[in-house]
Amino acid sequence: MHHLSVALIVFACVFCSALVGLYLRTLLPEHHLSDDSIGVAKLVIGLIATMAALVLGLLISSAKSSFDTVNAEVTHDAADVILLDRVLAQYGPETQEIRGLLKHFVANGIQQIASGDPAQLATMHSPEALKRGEYLERKLVELSPQNDLQRRLQARAIDLADTAVAVRELGLLQASGSTPTPLLITLVLWLCIIFGAFGLFTPPNATVIIALFLGALSTSVAIFLILEMNTPLNGLVTISLSPMREALAVLGQ
C-alpha cells in the first residue's frame, strides 16, 4: 500500500499543477500569452518533457529488467531443487532425511513469499535462514559414499546445493531494490512543470480538464508500476511462484 500512496501523491501533485496552470491563465496579462511568449515556453517545456520521457523510460526498463531477473532466478532455483532431490534419490535411502529437510525448506520459503508479509520476507535474509542452508550442505558433506557412483552423486549434490543457495541469495538481494528517491522527486517535479504548462497554454473547458486528468492518472500509474516491479516479492505485482510449487509437488517422490 506504500507504493499506492506514493502514486496517489504523484497524481495529486501533477493534476493540481495542471489546474493551477488553468487558473494562472485567467490571471496573466494578455501580453504574457502572446505567440512569442508561448513559443519560447513551449521550447522549454519540450526540453523538460524530453528529459522526463527519458528518465521515465529508463526507470521502467530498469524495473522490468530487475523483475524479469528475479523471476528467472526463481525458475532456475526450482530446477536446481528438483535436480538435487533426484540426485539424492539416486544416491540411496540414506539421503531420506536430507530430502525431507529440502522439501521442508522449499515449502517454508514458498509460504513466506506467498504471504506478502514484510516481517516474514525479512526472515529470509536472517542469519537463521543462512544457517539452515549451511546445515543442509553440511549434511551432504557428512554422507559416507560406499562406491565411485555415490561419490560422484555426493559431489554433484553439493554443487547443486551451493548453486541453489547462491541463486536464492542473489534473487533476494535483487528483489530488495528500490527507486532512487531524488530521481523520483526530480521526475515528479518535471511532470508538474509540464502539466502546469499544459494548463497555462490551453483555454479551460471540460475536455481539457478530462484530458489532463487522464494524463496525470497515466503518469501516476506508470510510477506505481515502477515501484511495484522493483519489489517483486511483495505488493500487487509479484513474481510467479508456480515453478517452486511444481518443484515442491515432485520433491521426495
The count of structural domains within the chain is 1
Q: How far is CA 74 from CA 105, 116, 125, in A?
A: 14, 16, 16
Provide the pLDDT for residue 245: 84
pLDDT band at 157 (very low <50, low <70, confident <90, very high): confident
Q: Does the structure show a pLDDT above 90 at 136?
A: no
Residue 120's Cβ-count burial label (10 Å; 0-12, 13-18, 19+) is middle
Provide the pLDDT for residue 20: 93
Helix axes 96-115, 35-91, angle to 10 degrees: 160
Q: In whole angstroms, what is the distance from residue 155 CA to residue 74 CA?
A: 23
| pLDDT, averaged across the chain | 83
The stretch 107-130 carries a mean pLDDT of 72
The stretch 103-120 carries a mean pLDDT of 76
Domain of 193 in residue numbering reads as 2-250
The CA-based angle 137-141-145, given to 5 degrees, is 135
Q: Does the structure show a pLDDT above 70 at 125?
A: no
Provide the pLDDT for residue 171: 59
Q: In whole angstroms, what is the distance from residue 240 CA to residue 78 CA?
A: 12
